[in-house]
């Protein structure tokens, strides 16, 4: 996963954590406002991260 995408994912996760600390679930449109990204871009980054992690776990089990 490219470094810039990881940085954006970290920014998204931090914003989600801050809202969670307030004791409530974040609204779907709230995080894009906080991180200054479009919702489709956030969804794409999250999908990429899930795909990347899934492929890495598959490789880890294949090497054993």
pLDDT tens across 34-55, in order?
899 999 999 999 998 887 766 6
Q: How many domains does the chain have?
A: 1
Contact, 31 vs 45, CB < 8 A? no
pLDDT tens sequence across 4-13: 889 999 999 9
Q: Residue 63, Cβ neighbours under 10 Å: how many?
A: 6
pTM of the model: 0.69
Domain of residue 54: give its range: 3-63
């Amino acid at each position: 996963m490219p470094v810039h995408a990881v940085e954006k994912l970290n920014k998204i996760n931090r914003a989600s954590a801050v809202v969670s600390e307030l004791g409530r679930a974040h609204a779907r449109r709230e995080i894009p406002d906080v991180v200054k990204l479009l919702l489709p871009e956030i969804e794409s980054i999250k999908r990429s991260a899930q795909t990347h992690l899934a492929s890495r776990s598959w490789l880890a089990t294949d090497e054993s």
